[in-house]
Chain A
């Protein structure tokens, strides 16, 4: 019997695994290798320094810790807001009403717009002098130029863009809850708040967990939106790990040190993923 007959799965899996290895795993190893070098692109500097980059990174680079803090703040805040806001909207849209389909379609628009375009849209809205936000609210906030407001402004843009995705998942999750449970609870005289808190929410846990995994990973890796919105300013208050890495690689051309930060990002996302997988498997 030919190999194809005996183990057909090899031929089916081969194309995918091959390109995945080429485009994802090989570069990862290359990045790892780069991270052990001092590689300054233009100046023809390339020497092996072992863990030197990592030592500097963790012990001396305040800009790294600043970027880490910004990334964590951004991730936690936006994911939390998206979840809460998304839940509210999902509840709102879980019942049938005329035009529900249209509303859902409108809701999807922010999600399908390119991140670059959405950042430009909001940059225009946030302009302190001729932006429509300050105009409507009749205030004078320096949205993208104030150390406090800038990161929050970025969070708002992310919430705008990603909440529709959360809503979709939650609505699907709602549909997995059998209706009889609700009917029974109503018959027993439970208030809607009580129903939501004690029945819906616990049963939604697996869905919520999936939402958390996707959104946490995406928020942690955010690049496009913030790069276009503020490019990391003012005073690096919106500089996330991805932006810091990008600047190191392509503005300052430090391919060695930049790679070490890239590896750190990868390790972090790995830890988060494993943690969530573990939570999911526990049911």
Chain B
């Protein structure tokens, strides 16, 4: 019994170190002054400093960029839940022919490699004069999040007993009223889980943001970090600080809403 306990804790420690270590190292790096950056030892900074964080916000439009990311992520979450819940409701509760075809179509859209359609999307956005706008990103991300959203929400809606829906119809609700007044509130936890997952996906997306944004007006955080290196210099200290800043919101989300996130993933993957 003792040996098993010991091995258990050993493995646990290893797991925690492996997964949390790199991020921790980044935090340590971000606190190192420039002169101690590219040397090992020392591993820990002799006098930790916040100068990297200061310079990230002073010398770059980082606050604006983080704000952009936040706006895009929140809007994407709202929009995709809005459009997706409508479709999921139809698939879960309404009578219709060809449900499996629609489901298959939705599923096939989820396997599109972004690289395959980034070029025509760029051309399309340019034609609509939407290049370098936040809206372009919100719109694109929403559509990319849709298959997953629809998939997951269909599962959540299906788990609401049919009698509830039918009862509301009998009581005189139109289809939409049933959807809006009854089914939606009942599945609020599921909606919330999905919204968080969509937020995380949108916060982290890179390829489209890289290609579609041209200036600070629409740039998001991951792209800004990728653009930190100058023509010859690579500001490792600042990048470490920026990485920490960009990661904190999602880490906080994770700790606060771990249960919900897990529910969302499970619903999407297992029960779907």
Binding site for B on A (CB under 8 A): 4, 7-9, 12-13, 15-17, 19-20, 22-28, 30-31, 34, 88-89, 92, 101, 103-110, 112-118, 120-122, 124-125, 129-132, 135, 160, 163-165, 168-169, 172-173, 176, 207, 210-211, 214, 217, 220-221, 223-224, 228, 242, 245-246, 249-250, 255, 258-259, 262-263, 265-266, 269-270, 273
A112 touches B262 (CB 8 A): no
Supposing A23-B143, A89-B15, A114-B221 touch, asked if A221 and B114 sit within 8 A by C-beta, the answer is yes
Bound Cα distance from A258 to B120, whole angstroms = 12
Partner of A210, one of B11, B118, B247, B269: B269
Q: Is the CB of A120 within 8 A of B243?
A: yes
Measured CB to CB, the nearest residue on chain B to A131 is: B40
Contact indicator per residue, chain B 224-257, by CB within 8 Å of chain A (1) or not (0): 0110000000001001100100110011011100
A104 contacts which chain B residues (CB < 8 A)?
258, 262
Report yes or no: B146 in contact with A19, Cβ–Cβ below 8 A.
yes
Question: Once A and B bind, how many residue pairs between them come within 8 Å at the CB atom?
Answer: 242
Nearest A residue (CB) for B38: A130
Task: Assess the A121–B115 pair: CB atoms within 8 A.
Answer: no
The binding surface of chain A is classed by DSSP as: helix
Is there contact, CB below 8 Å, between B254 and A105? yes
Q: How far is the CA of A250 from the CA of B210 in the complex (A)?
A: 11
Given the contacts A13-B90, A124-B240, A223-B207, A27 and B117 also touching, CB distance less than 8 Å: yes
Chain B residues, Cβ within 8 Å of A270: 108, 111
Q: How far is the CA of A56 from the CA of B209 in the complex (A)?
A: 31
Report if A262-B113 is in contact (Cβ < 8 Å); known contacts: A112-B204, A117-B247: yes
- Nearest-neighbour CB distance to chain A for B166, whole angstroms, equals 14
Q: Which A residues touch B71, using CB under 8 A?
A: none
Give complex CA distance A17, B223 in Å: 30
- In B118-172, the 8 Å CB interface with A consists of 118-121, 123-124, 139-140, 142-144, 146-147, 150
A-chain residues with CB within 8 Å of residue B1 when the two chains form the complex: none
Q: Is the CB of A115 within 8 A of B204?
A: yes
Which chain B residues border A242 with CB–CB below 8 Å?
Answer: 113, 115
| Contact status A121-B243, CB under 8 Å | yes
11 additional A-B residue pairs with CB within 8 Å, beyond A16-B87, A88-B11, A169-B265: A22-B143, A92-B11, A103-B12, A104-B258, A107-B19, A112-B200, A121-B243, A135-B41, A165-B265, A265-B116, A269-B111
> Are the C-beta atoms of B254 and A109 separated by less than 8 Å?
yes
Q: Is B214 an interface residue (CB 8 A)?
A: no
A109 partner, pick from B12, B239, B251, beta carbons under 8 A: B251
11 contacts between A and B (CB under 8 A): A26-B124, A27-B120, A28-B112, A110-B22, A113-B250, A117-B243, A117-B246, A130-B40, A223-B114, A223-B207, A266-B113
